[in-house]
Amino acid sequence: MRKFGLIGYPLGHSFSGKYFREKFHRESIEDCAYSNYEIPSISALSDILKDPELNGLNVTIPYKESVISFLHKKNQVVEEIAACNCIKILNGELTGYNTDVIGFENSLKEKLRIADKSALILGTGGSSKAVAWVLKKTGIEYLFVTRNKSLHDGRITYEELSREILESHPLIINTTPVGMHPKTEVYPPIPYQWIGRGHYLFDLVYNPSKTLFLEKGELAGARTKNGADMLAIQAEASWDIWNKKGKA
Ligand SMILES: NC(=O)c1ccc[n+]([C@@H]2O[C@H](COP(=O)([O-])OP(=O)(O)OC[C@H]3O[C@@H](n4cnc5c(N)ncnc54)[C@H](OP(=O)(O)O)[C@@H]3O)[C@@H](O)[C@H]2O)c1
């Protein structure tokens, strides 16, 4: 049996297990299994890695950065952004990749307009690094928005979001878990009254499919997109990496 899985905490919101189980069934892949490893601390990864049948892992909230210390090798994107969401395990050697980058890039462009030249990235965690990497590559300027008042290099706080800042940043990307199942009644604290038809609100959250963040954007006439396509694209990219012959 070739085993794969997802590490993170909590994992109640995650569709990854369902995605891979359906894929294995649909494509008659019988020698593979995909499990959730809900670990309250990254140190618990050591025990999971003892399984000789484990071939690959996805990594989600909150371990995309802390998992780096377990890797023997990193691809160039992981080197650059220090965030990893996909690990290939070959002969006990762990190589880190970032397929969020591929998922976000391909998913974003569906509704992207030429005028979307600057973005606000809500949150400064693991997936925000992948988002920033893609925006830079695409030629879109960005500003991080954080709860943390002491982080002031290229970042602002939610309290500092003015009308001028909102109106000059048509793209707003939620990389926080705010609004994610089961706490669906909350939303990122941005001044929604200044969002309009020129905006594009992208939420990495996909459960629920329409968060309050997206609902508020939709009400203001903005373009909106959730993280469901991104999830599917990054999952398929992980599968390709795990099955690439020879190379780790
Ligand atoms: N669709 C997909 O394929 C996909 C891919 C990746 C991630 N995601 C989703 O994206 C979300 C973030 O994942 P992640 O791995 O980047 O998590 P993470 O590393 O824990 O980072 C999340 C960031 O959000 C901010 N944050 C956390 N709790 C918050 C709160 N209560 N209020 C406001 N801000 C808060 C924090 O930034 P500050 O401390 O700077 O405020 C934190 O660094 C999760 O919901 C995950 O499921 C989806």
CA dihedral 132, 138, 141, 142 (to 10 degrees): -20
CATH number of 102-228: 3.40.50.720
Q: Which residues contact 12 (CB under 8 A, 6 or more apart)?
A: 181, 182
Atom 13 of ligand 1, residue of closest alpha carbon: 61
Q: Is 204 in the pocket of ligand 1 (CB under 6 A)?
A: yes
* pLDDT > 60? residue 216: yes
Q: Is 103 in the pocket of ligand 1 (CB under 6 A)?
A: yes
- pLDDT for 114 equals 96
- pLDDT for 247 equals 45
pLDDT in tens, 117-172: 999 999 999 899 999 999 999 999 999 999 998 766 789 999 999 999 999 999 99
pTM (2 d.p.) = 0.94
CA dihedral 113, 116, 122, 128 (to 10 degrees): 70
Q: Is 60 in the pocket of ligand 1 (CB under 6 A)?
A: yes
Residue 13: band (very low, low, confident or very high) from pLDDT cuts 50, 70, 90: confident
Radius of gyration of the chain, Cα coordinates, nearest whole angstrom: 18
pLDDT in tens, 37-90: 999 999 999 999 999 999 999 999 999 999 999 999 999 999 999 999 999 999
Active site (annotated) includes residue 149: no
Distance 52 CA to ligand 1 centre (A): 31
- pLDDT for 246 equals 54
CA distance 91 to 102: 26
The domains of the chain are located at 2-99+230-243, 102-228
Q: Is 198 in the pocket of ligand 1 (CB under 6 A)?
A: no
pLDDT in tens, 165-209: 999 999 999 999 999 999 999 999 999 999 999 999 999 999 999
CA distance 80 to 76: 6
Distance 79 CA to ligand 1 centre (A): 20
* pLDDT > 90? residue 27: yes
Question: What one-character DSSP code corresponds to residue 160?
Answer: G
Mutate to test the pocket of ligand 1, among 120, 176, 231 (most ligand atoms within 8 A of CB): 176
CA distance 71 to 77: 14
CA distance 90 to 176: 32
Question: Three-state DSSP class for 188?
Answer: coil
> Which position among 18, 23, 50, 64 bears the catalytic label?
64
Q: Is 147 in the pocket of ligand 1 (CB under 6 A)?
A: yes
Domains 2-99+230-243 and 102-228 share a fold: yes
Q: Which CATH class is domain 2-99+230-243?
A: alpha beta
Which residue, among 55, 62, 82, has the nearest Cα to 13 in the 3D structure? 62
CA distance 55 to 52: 8
Q: Is 107 in the pocket of ligand 1 (CB under 6 A)?
A: no
